[in-house]
Structure 1
């Protein structure tokens, strides 16, 4: 069974990527996701044309990667939740849903009547899920946050990837970086809440913040800082390899590309590695002929490895290393990732037909069931399914017209 969430309905009142990405994952797993968008403006992310300096729109196409990723497989309805005329529609949607998913701030939820108490008054069994920037308690609970602020900057990643002498802070490596991880986290929380309800009959309020996801991603360093009682010292390391392991770190090839070695047992892998790269003499070298000596002389060993790896190209080394038993990886750019044979072999890239009928490809969410690659469908156009959903709710065409005239639905 490759659609374990079939039969679950998610009502999403959210925008941008963090929380919508969770519903995209659940849609991949078979859930019926209804995305509520503002009747006039839609999801605010539809208006983003540039992300981290890159164009976010495919020219001349309706295919919009920044919307497709976190919204594939959903149905979109355009509702102005501030209009009293739309309240019966919203309440009917709530009654028919298993999960209410939102990233609206507390003040907005109260104003629109979609806070926990409001929603539970309509459907006592619904699972209420909040995605926030900084959590639901404390002075910043009603403060908005993006992954660049809450996940990347405030939770420590930015500081610890930016060199001390850098003139500019390192940015996230791609748009919605923390949002995508946060969406997976929310999807896991929803799954646990659905299991709890199925086994105990008790429902849940699920909370995930970008700050908490960022701190979780940085937990090794954060936990260590709490043990030591202060900021961690700058980790001094040689130019090549690690301070006590020449087989752990990045090395440059003759054409300026990078290779990552992560052989955490240097004594075990050293003889085979140096033989593979054409320097078997280093296995017998008195400076490196035991694990203890190799660790003690790691900077010098790293320098010698670097000299050898700079003699051949990236393509030459990756072909040679394909037979190596020790853990390593090529350092790939996003195009190379999209063509990675292991991603392709495992179905982690899926074909989707866009609104123009063109075949496109998207990265799937990383969980598979029963060894079945996920089959994706495109994200909805703005308010594309309004009429379809209204009819499902029992709204007549005449009533639908009146709602549209009132500006309550689109």
Structure 2
């Protein structure tokens, strides 16, 4: 039994933010039915290479991107542009607790699949809309992709090396982080609405926007601006408010120090053989080190070139100062701690019994996450879901497939 066992989720979303949200709900036990376009399905099914390898080690047509966000779901292929397809979706809504969609604001109204229409059909429905800009405002009708939002939302202005240095200029994050964060915030909103429904008996509309999430997630950087009137700049791997909090190059490769307070700085200085730095008036407190950022960074940079990253990490970790190497993805997944936490899971796939993926970071003592199924093939559950939810007969399903309504 998962924490959300018994909750039925109808997922009309595609790409990343919506599917990320519904995958988390599915991991927690919800029955998630993914509604996809007949013939093509979710856009990300074709976002490759890379593709999942089949049992013979050859490329399948299941893109790795799609695989990463759709486990534990059932796929139903329905043409929602057709009247019969819309009727099927409405019938599924009547049996569901949650609907997730990421169509452009207002575009589902023409199909009678908007919140107002569906909430009158099922007043207990929690309806979550995920868009680039939200349901209101001057840009509500525009599409919004993660990359655009990272730029508009200020994230790229504080990500990347400083202007004038090699590689300087704004950079997007290497993962579509705004999509991922929006998926996470959407899970919170949906669960809050489900809890509220326990008190009121009524569902509600969750209006989630990538731009809202990105602005909210600026955290201390936005507050720095509100306090000073000065927009924060890019610091590369350095921190705007803490020093030393940066990557450094040893004799062989880079490593990271995240020194969060003055006590840690004193311990760091002793561990690396420079105890005098902690009593230097320029570096005595964090505010001094921030003001003298260039000086302390240069001293440390020169010093760390004298030995390997492994040596420095071992010495610094011994005094409990946060420190670590910079892994590539392969190195990250090979970390013993990652293995110990069970973060790599095997979920046998019809095309690949040894299929592996990264698991959920949620660890619950009584209602743990479960890995029931890999990402579904397109329409693989059309018959079983419609028979289970709506009592469709084999003849009715066959007729609708012949019409192209179902896949």
TM-score, normalised with respect to structure 1: 0.87
Q: Does 1:73 align with 2:60?
A: no
Contact 1:252–1:306 under 8 Å retained in 2? yes
Q: Distance in 2 between matches of 1:289 and 1:91?
A: 65
Q: 1:56 to 1:143 in 2, by over 3 A?
A: farther
Cα distance change, pair 257–79 in 1 and its aligned pair in 2 (3 A)? same
Equivalent residue number for residue 59 of structure 2: 60
* TM-superposed deviation, 1:220: 2.4
Residue in 2 that maps onto 1:332: 327
**Distance in 1, Cα, partners of 2:112 & 2:241:** 59
Cα 1:297–1:182 change in 2 (3 A) is closer
Q: Secondary structure of 1:303's partner?
A: helix
In structure 2, the gaps of 5 or more residues are none
Aligned to 2:250: 253
1:262-313 deviation digits (Å, cap 9, x = unpaired): 22323x2344323322344656x76679548974766444333222211222
Contact 2:134 2:209 in 1 (8 A): yes
Instruction: Output the CA distance in 1 between the equivalents of 2:240 and 2:81.
Output: 60
Q: Please name the residue that 1:207 is paired with.
A: 207
Select the residue among 152, 159, 184 that pairs with 1:154: 152
Alpha-carbon distance between aligned partners in 2 of 1:214 and 1:369, rounded to the nearest angstrom: 28
**Per-residue deviation at 1:180?**
1.5
Mapping of residues 17-166 of structure 1, within 5 Å: 17-49=16-48, 55=50, 58=53, 60-61=59-60, 64-150=63-149, 152-162=150-160, 163-165=162-164
Q: Matches of 2:292 and 2:40 in 1, distance apart?
A: 62
What's the counterpart of residue 174 of structure 2? 173
Q: CA deviation at 1:315?
A: 2.5
1:400/1:159 CA distance change after superposition, 3 Å = same
How far apart are 1:126 and its partner, in Å? 0.8
Distance 1:91 1:294 in 2: 63
Tell me the secondary structure at the aligned position of residue 26 of structure 2: helix
> Could you list the per-position Cα deviations for residues 115-134 of structure 1 after superposition, in whole angstroms to 9, with x for gaps in the alignment?
01221232121111100101
* Residues 329-352 of structure 1: CA deviation (Å, up to 9, x unaligned): 332222222122222222233222
Q: Between Structure 1 and Structure 2, how many residues are aligned? A: 397
Is the counterpart of residue 394 in structure 1 residue 391 in structure 2? yes
Q: 1:265 and 2:264 equivalent? A: no
Cα shift at 1:232: 1.6
Q: 1:357: Cα distance to partner?
A: 3.4
| Cross-structure match for 2:10 | 11
Distance 2:22 2:283 in 1: 54
Structure 1, unaligned stretches of length 5 or more?
none
Give, in whole Å, the separation in 2 of the partners of 1:11 and 1:245: 45
Compared CA separation, residues 147 and 57, structure 1 to 2 (3 A): farther
Aligned-residue Cα RMSD (Å) equals 2.8
